């Protein structure tokens, strides 16, 4: 199966470099994306531009695809399922959850000069970054691209309820499946609460398993893609 890989805020497609080879060794075609405004040099990209980039990758596949979203990009993966419910065979969410209709995409930190830069490691102290050594931290921070406000402040629009028919696997890194289920039960994740086929998978990592646990992550994604 073709597997579209969408990294979260500040990251381009190269963050998947250590995931792609083991994923392809397991028989799948990996399609890591560099999103508009996150590595292509565009300072004026919008959320719609990023959605269009994901849909172009889905549409270019010869068959059904699995779309993988990491962190904030879980919403991008979900928007792909909403726009292409007949083409997206499964959605895999890593360390994040889809926003609901009408919510802002990812206006999490202060912007500067029209973009939201990587805020440093202090906001991610604890479980998010505990498994990253200094080299990994330096690498992520050095590669981080400020995300244009047209993306971060974009408003999520979801209208096609066929999205809830698309199977979802939630890969839980810095939180546990039990915690995610508790949040769903408490009404904090309304989109996931309505998914008809939702699976929870644990991975012993922080927020960036594509960096700290790439082989294990590839194995989990390959297993998810193989499931009918």
Q: How far apart are CA 30 and CA 76, in angstroms?
A: 17
Q: Which helix (H) or strand (E) holds 190?
A: helix 190-193
Mean pLDDT, all residues of the chain: 97
125 by Cβ neighbours in 10 Å (0-12 / 13-18 / 19+) ranks as exposed
Q: How many CA atoms lie within 13 A of 121 on its CB side?
A: 19
Question: Average pLDDT of 140-168?
Answer: 97
DSSP 115: E
Helix (H, G, I), strand (E, B) or coil at 199: strand
- Residue 228: what pLDDT? 66
Beta bridge mates, 83: none
CA terminus-to-terminus distance, the chain: 12
Percent of the chain with pLDDT over 90: 97
Whose tokens are 């579209």? That residue is 4
Neighbours of 3 (CB within 10 A): 26
* Contacting residues for 131 by C-beta, under 8 A, at least 6 apart: 205, 206, 212, 213
Give the pLDDT band (50/70/90) at residue 227: confident
Cβ distance 2 to 24 under 8 Å?
no
186-208 residue pLDDT tens: 999 999 999 999 999 999 999 99
51-78 residue pLDDT tens: 999 999 999 998 889 999 999 999 999 9
- Residue 62: what pLDDT? 87
177 by Cβ neighbours in 10 Å (0-12 / 13-18 / 19+) ranks as middle
Percent of the chain with pLDDT over 70: 100
10-40 residue pLDDT tens: 999 999 999 999 999 999 999 999 999 999 9
């Amino acid at each position: 199966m073709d597997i579209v890989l969408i990294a979260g805020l500040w990251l381009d497609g190269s963050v998947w470099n250590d995931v792609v080879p083991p994923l392809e060794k397991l028989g799948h075609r990996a399609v890591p994306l560099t999103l508009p405004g996150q590595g292509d040099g565009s300072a004026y990209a919008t959320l719609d531009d990023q959605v269009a980039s994901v849909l172009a990758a889905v549409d270019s596949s010869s068959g059904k695809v699995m779309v993988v979203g990491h962190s904030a990009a879980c919403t991008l993966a979900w928007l792909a399922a909403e726009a292409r419910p007949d083409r997206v065979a499964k959605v895999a969410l890593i360390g994040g959850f889809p926003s609901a209709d009408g919510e802002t995409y990812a206006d999490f930190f202060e912007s500067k000069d029209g973009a939201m830069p990587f805020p440093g490691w202090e906001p991610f102290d604890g479980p998010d970054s505990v498994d990253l050594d200094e080299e990994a931290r330096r690498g992520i921070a050095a590669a981080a691209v400020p995300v244009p406000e047209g993306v971060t402040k974009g408003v999520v629009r979801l209208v096609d309820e066929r999205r809830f028919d698309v199977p979802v696997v939630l890969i839980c890194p810095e939180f546990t499946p039990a915690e995610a289920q508790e949040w769903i039960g408490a009404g904090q994740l309304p989109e996931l609460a309505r998914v008809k086929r939702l699976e929870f998978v644990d991975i012993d990592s922080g927020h960036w398993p594509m960096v700290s646990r790439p082989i294990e992550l590839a194995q989990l994604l390959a297993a998810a893609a193989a499931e009918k």
